[in-house]
Structure formats: C-alpha cells, structure tokens
Structure 1
Amino acid sequence: MKSFKADYVFPVCADPVKNGIVTVDDFGKIVSVTDDNSPPTQTPIETVSGIIVPGFINTHCHTELSHIKDKISAGGGLINFIKDILSFRSAGPGEILEAAQAADQQMFDNGIVAVGDISNNSITAPIKAKSKLYYHTFIEILGFLPANAEELFNKALATAEEFKPQSTSITAHAPYSVSKELFKLIKQHSETGTNLLSIHNQECEDENKFYRYKLGGFIDLYKHLGVDIGYFRPQARNSLQSIIPLLTNRQKVLLVHNTCTNLKDIYFIKRFDRKVNWCFCPNANIYIEKRLPKIELFINQGFNITLGTDSLASNSKLCILSEMRTIQQHFPSIGIDTLLKWGTINGAQFLGIDDEKGTIEAGKTPGLNLITGMDGFKLTPDTKVKRLV
C-alpha cells in the first residue's frame, strides 16, 4: 500500500478534505480517505503540493483520427472541417495505428482513465484491448440517403462484432448526416439490451438552417459530395428538436458539442422522456468554429453534463484538465467543484462505470491525479496534471 498527502483531496462525492491523505493498495484500489488529524498509518506517506482528484473521464474522442493532427487549419468552420476530414482520413494502417497508440498514451499521461470513443471501423480495436484505459466504443453510422440505411446499419453491426468482447454500442453521427430511416433502425436496435448513444449536436448555425429552411452550407456540402438530397424537406424547427422524437427513451443519450443549442432547444427536450446527457468539448469548438456553447444555459436544468476532448484533428492535445481550464477562462462563475464533477463522476455515470471510477471512495479504483499550479481553487495557465495512480 501507499499513501499520498496533499493540500486538499477532492473526493468529488464529498466535501474537499484539507490536508487529506489517500491510501491505495498495490492495485490502485482506494483503502481510505482521511486527514492529518486521523490516527497515523503504518504506510509511508508521500507528501505532495496541490490537490488530489479522481482520474478523468473523457466521454468524447476519436482516436482513429489522431493521424490528422496539425493537418487541418483552425477556424475554418464545420463545413470545411468535414471536407478536410474526408480528404485526410485515408492513410495506411501503420500510420493510423501509430498515431492512435500515441493518443492512448497521451490520455493516460494526462490522467484520463476512461474514454467514450467514436469509431467508424475496427482498426483501433487491438489498441483498446491492450490499453490501461477503459474504453467504450461508439460504432458511428453516417448515411443521409434512405435507400442505404439497412446496408449501413448491418455494416455497423459487423464492426461491433470485431470489437468483441469490448464494450460497444451503435450510434448515429449527427442529424445532418443520418436519415430518418437510419435513426429508426438505431432506435429499434436500442429498444432491447444496452446501447449507449452519442450524437454530434448543433456544432454550427448551418445545421439549424438546414433543418429549418433547407438552406446553408450543408446544401453545398452534399453537392460537393455528389449526394442528391432532393427527398429531404425542411422541418421548420432546429435539428435537435427534429431528431429527439426519433431517439429511444430506453438508453442514455450523449449530445456532444451543442455549440448552437439554445434555451428553446433545452426546454423542448424537457417535454420528452429521453435520458439526455450533454458533453462539452470547448477546445474543439474554438478550433473548428471559433466559438463556444452557452454553457451557463445548461446548468441547473436537471441534466447530466460531461466533458470530452474530441479528436487531435480538432485539438492540440487530449487533456480534460485543458478543457476545464478553457471553460473556467470563459465562464469564471463555474467553479472547480462543478468542473470536477463534469470531468469525473458525471462521465463515469454516463458510461455506466461509476461503481469503479469517478470518485475517491474506499473500494473503488478511480485513479488519482495531482493538480498543481492553481490560484486557490482557480485554474490558471500554469495549472498542470500529474498522474499519481
């Protein structure tokens, strides 16, 4: 066993412990959380400066896109970003695997213990099978033509088989890239068993323009791709409001990015019996669209909020602490207590691993991170994370 003493321990499930001491066994399982007024332990104590927090949960990543790092210019908007992804994503298996392996190690080094990862194929399956991180892989389907729905869905099922026995589920990519027929097949699949959903949501204004009026950049995108979307009719409401009725009420749904989600969208969701969770990836939002979601609108609305990094195609690094720092920089009223919940237990609850991860409690194996360089309880440009366990 070993013990760590810090200025504060943030269990997340309880109040911070000043001069807290965390003891773990050789397998990383929490034995106890105490303070320096407790009876002395026989275990040697390593004293560190900073705060100790649970390992981070990254609920949205694309490790299979890691080889595109630094290839796409920042700030070009989502439509151009999609075009660039399609141009750059094809690469040799060796290049893709090497970059994905490095991304996996980077997340480990940055104190991430679990990942909700988007995959369109099974190339990352061997890396995830050997990883020190917990992965749940979302097998993502894209297809806006109704005639292709069944073929694409069956292909996704086959991809999921290639990941077994790893944890996977079948999910839609985004409202603008998935037909109503394909949404219905995913819903039917989700009515039995467990099938977590993770959907890119309202990343740009053009997505809402497309659904409301059939105008904007997505018309040009489909022309660019040579896809005839003549069948599609405008819905006279935002994309999120259009697809919510197509989603199952039996599974947890993670809506990711939410850059252009407004209060009317949030209130609309409340009228439906859906298990909605929100995920924010602020650094990717800035990288792609040069803007952030109105995060404060989502607080105290009764929904679970999580954090993600998106991919290295749209981010300089895979680090949940960096995402927290960006949020606090732009929304200073959001404190460290809230950010830690978003980056730990909330993500663990969404992924269904909160019995082991997300909080520092006896019997759990959450991983331990040391955060240094804070100004009191405020994150600063000098704030860093070091993995302890």
Structure 2
Amino acid sequence: MKSFRADYVFPVYADPIKNGIVTVDDVGKIISVTDSSNPPNGPIENVSGIICPGFVNTHCHIELSHLKNKIKTGGGLVSFIKEVQAFRNSDEQQVAGAIEKADQEMYNNGIVAVGDISNTNLSIPVKAKSKLYYHTFVETFGFLPQNAADVFDKATALLSEFKPQSVSVTPHAPYSVSKELFKLIRKHSEEGHNLISIHNQECEDENKFYRYKLGGFLDLYQYFGIDISFFKPQARNSVQSVIPLLTNKQKVLLVHNTCTNLKDIYFIKRFDRKVNFCFCPNANMYIEGKLPKIELFVDQGFNITLGTDSLASNDSLCILSEMRVIQKKFPALSTERLIKWGTLNGAEFLGIDDEKGSLQVGKIPGLNLITGLDGLKITPESKVKKLI
C-alpha cells in the first residue's frame, strides 16, 4: 500500500479535504480517502498541492499527432480543414510513431482515459497495448445524400477492425454529414450501444452556411469539388438543424461549441436528447483565436467535459493546460469545478465512472498531483505529476 498526504485532496464526488490522505494498493485501487485526524497505518508520503483523480480527455485525434507544428495558427477552420486534408496521405510509419509518442505524452500528463476520433485503423496497435482506456469514435464524412450508404458501410467495416476495443460510429460535423447519413447512424445507434461525438459550431461560418448558405464553407465544398446545389438554407443555426436527427437512446457529445449561443442551448433543452458538451479551449485559440462563451453553459443541467483536440491544433495533450486557459478567461470557474469537468464528468460520458473519475474506495482512477497553485487557483506555473 501507498499513502499520500496533500494540502488538499479532491475526491470529486465529495467536497475537497484539507490535509487529506489517499491510500492505494499496489495496482492503484483506492483503499481509503481521509483527513489527517484519521491517518492510515504505515508510512505516508507528504506532497504539496492538490491530489485528484486521473484526467479524462473526451476529445482527441491521436492519428493527427504527426501534424504538430505543421499547420499555421489563427487561419480559421476552413483553412485548417484544407491543410489537414493535404497531409492525409503522410507516411504511415511516421504517423504510427507520432501516435505512440502522443499516447505516452497523455499518460505522462496524468490522462487515464480518452475519447478518440479515428478515420483510419492506424491507431489500433497503440490502443491495444496502451496503459490508457480508449473509446474510439469512427468518424463519418459524407455531405452528398447519394453517398450515405457507402460511407456508412465503410465506417462499420472500420468499426469491426477496432473490435473488441470500445468503439462506435459517429458523424463528423453538421456541415459534413447529410441527413441521409445522420439517419443511418441514428438507426445503428438505436440497435445497440453507440456513443456519439460531433464537432459543433466551431466557427461562425458553420452557422452562416446553415442559416443563409453563405460564408467560407461554400469555398470549402468548391475546393473539394462537392456540388451542394441540393442544399437549402435552414434559417437556423447548425446545431438546431441536426439535434432532431440524433438518437435519444445514446449519449451525445457536442464538441467545441465555439459559436453556440443561448438560443441554441435553450433549443437543445427542448429536445429529449442525452447531450453532453466538451470544451477544447487551446484548439479553439489555435484555429479561430476565440473561446466559447463557457459561462452560458454552466448550471444549465448539462454534463460538461474537457478535451485536447489534436496536436495539429494544440501544443500539447494536457487537460491541466485546458483548465488553465478556461480559468484565466473565466476566473469565476473554480478549480474544483474544472477538475470535475476533467475527471468524473468525462468518465460518466464514456461510461467508465465505475472505475475512473473520482477517488472512491474500490475504484482505480489514477492519482494526479497538481502543483504551482495560487491558493486553489491554477497559474502559469501549475504542473501535473502522475503519482499512480
């Protein structure tokens, strides 16, 4: 057994414990969480900072890890998509090496579980031997209605390659998935377990396209040679257009939400859908140079999680770094709340909260130590160290 005493222990499911002590067995299973008035038997290692559970990264693209530092910042989403596509046929050995390195980086940064987007089978070997838990979202692209069946069949074939790993089929984004493809995914989702993760309202052009059929996406479709003459403007934002197409049988993660407004949130609340939100602030700053209005989402009754996006749009794969950006912009958000977003909420979305996400007896959530705090506030000097 190992015991650690810290300035604070954040069990997440309960209030923080000042001078708390966490005891784990040799595989990291929680034996006890207590305060200093009731110490366990045996030696106790004293550490300075906050002990919390291992982090859960609900949105990553590990197969884009080879694109680190290759795509310019601040170019906007349309430009970013073009640049990513230009690198799609990179050397497979280089891609595989970058995937392995990124997996190790997440482990070193205290991440214990990942919701990962995949378009290929290149990450299967790394995920099979990883110390992290992965759920893979096999992503579908297909805005042309006539291609829906073929796109869906290819996605289910890739899904079969990932099994028995945890895996599901998911739509990429409102602007890249036809109603017909949405309906095929919905039917599939209602026949068995199939978590959904969708890129949502990452830029204003997405809403402009859906409302008026204007903006940068017209150039994107032209760039890819896609005839969208069939598409009629919907006179409402993208998320309002696609929410009715989603299943109510599965949990749905809406990712980024950079340009989601209060009307969108109220619209979503009117529908019987199991919606969760994920914020990836570093990627939003990297691509669009702006953050979501996160304060609009707080206390609205939705489960909120955190993600890193990919190394194509981020300098690192670190959940603490995402928390730092959020707290700097929204100082009213406490570290306690942010840690819950980055641990238990993510574990609940992925369906692994029986083992991960909180410091409860019997769980194996991992232990992280956060240092370099100002009181309980995250600072530029704050770091995460994996204890277990």
Alignment correspondent of 2:69: 70
Question: Is the Cα contact below 8 Å between 1:55 and 1:369 reproduced in 2?
Answer: yes
Q: CA deviation at 1:121?
A: 1.3
Q: Which amino acid aligns with 1:221?
A: L
State the alpha-carbon separation in 1 of the partners of residues 32 and 317 from structure 2: 30
Q: Please give the alpha-carbon distance, in whole angstroms, between the structure 1 residues aligned to 2:189 and 2:210.
A: 25
- 1:133-172 per-position Cα deviation (integer Å, ceiling 9, x unaligned): 0000000000111111001101010101111110000000
- Pairing 1:216-227 to 2, within 5 Å after superposition: 216-227=215-226
- Give identity over the alignment, percent: 72
**Map of 1:236 onto structure 2:** 235
**Equivalent pair of 1:200/1:257 in contact (CA under 8 Å):** yes
CA shift digits 1:84-142 (9 cap, x unpaired): 00012321111001000000000000000000000011110110000000000000000
Distance in 2 (alpha carbons) for counterparts of 1:43 and 1:367: 21
The answer to whether the aligner puts 1:279 opposite 2:278 as a matched pair is: yes
Cα distance in 2 for partners of 1:197, 1:206 equals 23
Question: Which residue number in structure 1 is paired with residue 177 of structure 2?
Answer: 178
Cα deviation, 1:176-213, whole Å, max 9, x if unaligned, reads 00001000000000112110000000000000010011
Three-state SS of the structure 1 residue aligned to 2:333 is coil
Unaligned runs of 5+ in 1: none
Aligned partner of residue 313 in structure 2, secondary structure: coil
- The aligned residue for residue 15 of structure 2 is 15
Return structure 1 stretches of 4+ with deviation > 2 angstroms.
40-43
User: Residue 154 of structure 1 corresponds to which residue in structure 2?
Assistant: 153
Structure 1 SS opposite 2:137: strand
The two structures have a TM-score, normalised by structure 2, of 0.99
| In structure 1, distance between residues paired with 2:292 and 2:41 | 49
Question: Is the partner of 1:279 in helix, strand or coil?
Answer: strand
SS state of the match for residue 234, structure 1? Answer: coil
Do the aligned partners of 1:197 and 1:253 also contact (CA within 8 Å) in 2? yes
Matched residue SS, 1:250:
coil
Q: Deviations over 1:224-253 (max 9, x none)?
A: 111111111111110000000000000000
Letter in 2 for 1:19: N
Taking the aligned partners of 1:287 and 1:90, their CA distance within structure 2 comes to 23
Aligned to 1:163: 162
Which letter maps to 1:13? Y
3-state SS of the aligned residue for 2:15?
coil
Equivalent residue number for residue 113 of structure 1 = 112
Spell out the pairing of 1:121-140 with structure 2 (5 A cutoff).
121-140=120-139
**How far 1:325 sits from its partner (Å)?**
0.3
In the comparison of the two structures, how many residue pairs are matched?
Answer: 388
Other structure's SS at 1:169 match: strand
> Quick one: which amino acid aligns to residue 232 of structure 1?
F
Task: For 1:216, give the aligned amino acid.
Answer: G
Moved more, 89-98 or 53-62: 89-98
Pairwise mapping of residues 280-359 of structure 1 onto structure 2 (< 5 A)? 280-359=279-358
Name the CA distance, whole Å, in 2 between partners of 1:191 and 1:268.
23
- Deviation larger for 71-80 or 15-24: 15-24
Q: CA deviation at 1:323?
A: 0.2
Aligned residue type for 2:128: A
Query: 1:41, 1:221 → 2: CA distance?
Result: 61
Match of 1:210 in 2: 209
Taking structure 1 as the reference length, the TM-score comes to 0.99
Contact 1:4–1:23 (CA under 8 A) maintained in structure 2: yes
Note the residue ranges of structure 2 that are not aligned, 5 or more in a row.
none
